[in-house]
Amino acid sequence: MKIIHFLACLTLLSVSPKTSAAEPQGEIPPPKEEPRVIDPGPPPSDAIVLFDGKDLSKWNSEKNGPAKWEVKDGVATVNGTGSISTRQEFGDCQLHVEWATPEKVEGEGQGRGNSGILLQGRYEVQVLDSYINKTYYHGQAGAIYKQYAPLVNACRKPGEWQTYDIIFHAPSFDADSKLEKPGTVTVLQNGILVQDNVEIKGTTGPAGAPKYQAHPLKQALMLQDHHNPVRYRNIWIREL
Which part of the chain contacts Mg ion (CB under 5 A), choosing from 112-120, 169-177, 201-209, 229-237? 112-120
Task: Note whether 139 binds Mg ion by CB under 5 A.
Answer: no
**Of the two residues 43 and 168, which places its CB atom closer to Mg ion in the complex?**
168
**Coil, strand, or helix at residue 133?**
coil
Q: How many residues bind Mg ion (CB under 5 A)?
A: 3
**Of the two residues 224 and 238, which places its CB atom closer to Mg ion in the complex?**
224
Q: Which amino acid is at 189?
A: Q
Which residue, among 116, 49, 109, has the nearest Cα to 78 in the 3D structure? 116
Q: What is the DSSP letter of 36?
A: P
Yes or no: say if 59 and 85 are a contact pair by the CB < 8 Å rule: yes
**Of the two residues 47 and 127, which places its CB atom closer to Mg ion in the complex?**
127
When binding is defined by CB under 5 A, the residue of 116, 139, 150, 202 that contacts Mg ion is 116
Q: How many CB atoms lie within 10 A of CB 124?
A: 23
Q: Which residues 19-38 are close enough to bind Mg ion by CB under 5 A?
A: none
Q: How far is the CB of 113 from Mg ion (least distance, A)?
A: 10
Q: How far is the CB of 37 from Mg ion (least distance, A)?
A: 38
Q: How far is the CB of 38 from Mg ion (least distance, A)?
A: 32
Q: How far is the CB of 228 from Mg ion (least distance, A)?
A: 9
Which part of the chain contacts Mg ion (CB under 5 A), choosing from 43-51, 87-95, 109-117, 169-177? 109-117
**Of the two residues 43 and 116, which places its CB atom closer to Mg ion in the complex?**
116
Q: Give the phi and the psi of residue 40 in degrees, each rounded to 5.
A: -65, -10
| Residue showing the smallest CB distance to Mg ion in the complex | 116
Q: Looking at the DSSP assignment, which residues form a beta bridge with residue 165? A: 96, 188
- Upper half-sphere CA count for residue 42 (Cβ side, 13 Å): 14
Measure the CA–CA gap between 115 and 111, rounded to whole angstroms.
10
Q: How far is the CB of 226 from Mg ion (least distance, A)?
A: 5
**Of the two residues 203 and 224, which places its CB atom closer to Mg ion in the complex?**
224
Which part of the chain contacts Mg ion (CB under 5 A), choosing from 40-48, 187-195, 202-210, 224-232? 224-232
Which residue, among 137, 168, 166, has the nearest Cα to 151 in the 3D structure? 137
Q: How many CB atoms lie within 10 A of CB 7?
A: 10
Q: What is the DSSP letter of 26?
A: T
Yes or no: say if 72 and 198 are a contact pair by the CB < 8 Å rule: no
Where do contacts with Mg ion occur on this chain (CB under 5 A)? 114, 116, 224
